Structures are given as structure tokens and as C-alpha cells.
Amino acid sequence: MASGSRPMYSWGKRLFDYCAAAAGLLLLAPLLLAVAVAAWLGGLRPVLFWQWRTGYREQPFQVLKFRTMTQRTNAVGTLLPDAERLTPLGEWLRRTSLDELPQLWNVLRGELSLVGPRPFIHSYLPLYSEAQRVRFRVRPGLTGWAQVNGRNALSWEEKFALDSWYVANQSLALDLRILWRTLGRVLSGHAVSAAGHATTAPFRGSKAALGKE
């Protein structure tokens, strides 16, 4: 993207994000309420939870999500593995991406964009290599280039490569393309979980970040 067009793109993207998030929260209010009631009746309480993620310029923020796992613990008070806490309702919410809808509030607040690299949990911050930190040059997104090109079926290195490509090539046309492809991904429920995991494998750091090259 030409440097002269970047400010106009950034301004227009933020305006679009704000209007789309505000309209989405209003139009989807009945659906949000129905999901909240179903989650409450299904034992996913409290139905909403906040989780610290890393955002623009490596600043921490809290994303809002519908809860998909119970808070069951073992005898010593440690949370059980994800696979044992993920309920059938929670699995369905994940497959349909309905658990992500409350993040429209984060978009409205300016912490998320509709399109950008997905924000990962903040505790991963020290594990990134310098090349992987390019993702923090833009606002993270509700959906992104990695999400429409494999989502959790991708390895961590593949996700980072796709995110870096997006940062270098972002444009209005690309954002609209990602939003359109996201709709198809949501309807198919494809690649919600990584192979062998109820959700996804935790990030342990790259060789470059850990000094093992």
C-alpha cells in the first residue's frame, strides 16, 4: 500500500469498523440475548468472560467472549483440561463462532478491527520473534487472513506468516475479501479446533524467539 494512501485507509477502516460494530450490536441484540440465556441454562456461568490479549503496539486489552467451557476443577482446585470442560453447547458456539460476537464491543471501543491479525493471549508476548512482532503494527481483528486460510488447522508458524503477509498487503479490497470469505468459513464451521486438541495447541515460542537457531 502506498504511504500516501495509508492514512486515508486507516481512517476509513476505523469509521467502517465503528459503524458496522454499532449496527451489529443493535441488529444482533436478540441473538446475543438468546445465546446468553442458552449458555446460562447450559451451565456456562457467568455467560461472559474477559481475557487479556495483546493488541496494537503490544498493548494489553481484554476481549469479551461468551463462555464455552465450564470452570470445573480437580481435587486441588486446578482447572480440568479443555476437553473435559468444553460442553456440547460450548462446542457448537465455537463451531458457529457465536462465542466471538461479544467482541463487536471491542471493535466499537477501538481495541479490535473487523479485519486484522487475531489477538493471542497476552502471556505469549515474550515468546514472539522480531519477525512475528510485525503483527502489532496494526490493530488486531475479529477475523483475519489466517482465519480464512486454515484457522486452527494451521501451525503457529503458518499463522504468523499469513498475518505478516496481511500487514504488508492490507487494503480495503483485501479486507472486504476476508470478510466475505469469513462468512463461508463460519457457515462451514471448518478448522475450529487444531488436530488432537479441544481448542488449539498452546504457543511455546519459535526457535528464533528462544535463541535456538
Note the pLDDT tens digit of each residue in 146-204.
999 988 889 999 999 999 999 999 999 999 999 999 998 887 766 555 445 556 788 99
pLDDT recorded at residue 212: 45
Query: Which of 40, 53, 74 lies closest to 117, judged by CA?
Result: 53
Distance CA 203, CA 180 (A): 28
Q: What percent of the chain has pLDDT over 90?
A: 75
Q: What is the pLDDT of residue 213?
A: 41
Q: Is-contact 132 207, C-beta < 8 A? A: no
Lowest average pLDDT, out of 27-31, 33-37, 42-46, goes to 42-46
Which single residue is written with the C-alpha cell 480464512?
148
Q: Are 102 and 108 in contact (CB under 8 A)?
A: no
Give the single-character DSSP code of 190. T
**pTM of the prediction?**
0.88
